[in-house]
């Protein structure tokens, strides 16, 4: 994953150039700014020897032939060079579209919901591999 490897080019690959990024319900960003921000963040993390580990869990996964929606909770653990870790949680909603037969993220929204998202919310959501929970 892009977060774990600090590779912004992986972020470029999975996002549509038409991206609408909404951070915490406070800021709307386009593709160029979003990718540019990750390019800077990942470079700084490498320089400061910070590692990232991200995990996703879901409470909604729906799709048709051309659009998909996923909502859930992420857990991001950042560890500095002294092995001090800080954990961040948030709720996300991602919309995908098919572009040239590939799924791309069109809209990416996340929020910590006024710091109400934590480990309990994360554990309550379904594992990324628990697809049976979403099949009807």
Q: How confident is the model over 79-113, as pLDDT tens digits?
A: 999 999 999 999 999 999 999 999 999 999 999 89
> Is residue 25 predicted with pLDDT exceeding 80?
no
What mean pLDDT comes out for the span 110-120? 92
| pLDDT at residue number 106 | 98
- For the stretch 64-83, pLDDT in tens is 999 999 999 999 999 999 99
Q: Using the structure block, give the residue that is written with the tokens 């879901």.
A: 58
**For residues 10, 132, 120 and 53, what is the CA-based torsion angle, rounded to 10 degrees?**
-20
Q: What is the mean pLDDT of the chain?
A: 93
What mean pLDDT comes out for the span 1-7? 78
How is 53-110 classified by DSSP, letter by letter?
A: EEEEEEEEEEE-SSEEEEEEEEEEEEE-TT--EEEEEEEEEEEEEEETTEEEEEEEEE
pLDDT grade for 5, boundaries at 50, 70 and 90: confident
Rounded to whole angstroms, the Cα distance separating 93 from 23 reads 11
pLDDT top residue among 25 and 130? 130
Bridge partners, residue 54, by sequence: 76
> Is residue 136 predicted with pLDDT exceeding 70?
no
What mean pLDDT comes out for the span 105-127? 94
- DSSP letter at 117 equals -
pLDDT top residue among 76 and 24? 76
Query: Could you tell me what percent of the chain has a pLDDT over 70?
Result: 99
Rounded to whole angstroms, the Cα distance separating 16 from 106 reads 5
- DSSP letter at 30 equals E
Domain 2-134 belongs to what architecture? Roll (3.10)
């Amino acid at each position: 994953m892009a977060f774990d490897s600090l590779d912004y080019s992986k972020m470029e690959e999975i996002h549509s150039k038409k991206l609408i990024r909404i951070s915490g319900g406070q800021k709307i960003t386009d593709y160029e700014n979003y990718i540019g921000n990750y390019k800077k963040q990942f470079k700084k993390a490498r320089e400061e020897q910070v590692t990232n580990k991200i995990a996703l869990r879901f409470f909604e996964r729906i799709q048709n032939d051309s659009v998909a929606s996923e909502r859930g909770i992420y857990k991001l653990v950042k560890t500095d060079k002294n092995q001090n870790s800080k954990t961040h949680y948030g709720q996300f909603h991602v919309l995908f579209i098919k572009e040239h037969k590939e799924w791309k993220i069109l809209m990416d929204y996340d929020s910590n919901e006024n710091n109400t998202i934590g480990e309990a919310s994360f554990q309550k959501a379904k594992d990324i591999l628990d697809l049976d929970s979403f099949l009807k």
